[in-house]
Amino acid sequence: MIKIVLSGCCGKMGKIITECSKQFNNLEIVAGIDKFPTEIGYPVFKSADEMNVEYDVLLDFSRADALEGLLNLTEKTKKPFVICSTGFSEQQLDLINEKSKSLPLFKSANMSLGINLINSLLKKVAPMLYGNYDIEIIEKHHNQKVDAPSGTAVLLADTIKNSLKDETKYVYGRVGNCKREQNEIGIHAIRGGSIVGDHDVIFAGTGEVIELTHKAISREVFAIGALKACEYMGSITQPGLYDMNDVIGLD
């Protein structure tokens, strides 16, 4: 049995992960961490410093500002840490990369199988289309999401950018009086209502448009992905920075 400590357990995603964990015979959430604890069926601590329950995997689905405390806990226990939060600063991303040299860390901007399949496809498609097609990314999320653009949009954009030989630049939204430049990758964020998460990658050419689209119908898709990552990381002891490609075998 893999014992999980869930950071952000009392939030929307935390509650869904807790419910979905009942589908896994080899996983058990033994404790949680949340600034605003509520009754959820296992002990909940207000901070990582207070957490004193033994565990096998630390799972975080909270906010970026919890990172430092969770990394400190991971350094004490040397247990795998699955990072599912988004909105990290460049300094925080550098910290994750540095800590992965001595700790088993998992990080993914999106826990969905579908998104990761699209991301893998972009590595092959983008170099074939770039130059003859303009590339734009549109992401849509609910009105409570705090970071924009989404971590998934950045993931997709970075994959495209890194797959191209030519230098490209990101343009976030569009305003003013100027034509689009050929080397731009447009990234646009929409916030409204209860949209779970939609992502469109658009290749707009002369006379045709190619679109790769992913729509999350339920937050359960992210919960299941996070729990599968815990399954995978439960057997990992070597330091490194792991991701969903490792979990689903895309590499």
Q: Going by C-beta distance under 8 Å and a sequence separation of 6 or more, which residues neighbour residue 63?
A: 8, 85, 87, 146
What residues does CATH 3.40.50.720 cover in the chain? 2-111+219-248
pTM: 0.80
Task: Tell me the pLDDT tens digit for each residue of 51-67.
Answer: 999 999 999 999 999 99
Known binder of ligand: residue 110? yes
Known binder of ligand: residue 85? yes
- Report the percentage of the chain scoring pLDDT > 90: 94
CA distance 65 to 72: 13
Q: Which entry of 140, 141, 188, 228 is annotated as an active-site residue?
A: 141
Give the CATH superfamily of 2-111+219-248: NAD(P)-binding Rossmann-like Domain (3.40.50.720)
Catalytic residue flag (residue 79): no
Known binder of ligand: residue 18? no
Known binder of ligand: residue 10? yes
Measured in whole angstroms, the distance separating CA 220 from the mean position of its chain's CA atoms is: 14
Asked whether the predicted pLDDT for residue 159 surpasses 90, the reply is yes
Q: Residue 250 has what pLDDT?
A: 66
Task: Tell me the pLDDT tens digit for each residue of 66-96.
Answer: 999 999 999 999 999 999 998 899 999 999 9
Known binder of ligand: residue 197? no
Catalytic residue flag (residue 145): yes
The CATH number of domain 113-216 is 2.40.30.20: no
Q: Which entry of 3, 15, 145, 161 is annotated as an active-site residue?
A: 145
CA dihedral 7, 10, 16, 17 (to 10 degrees): 20
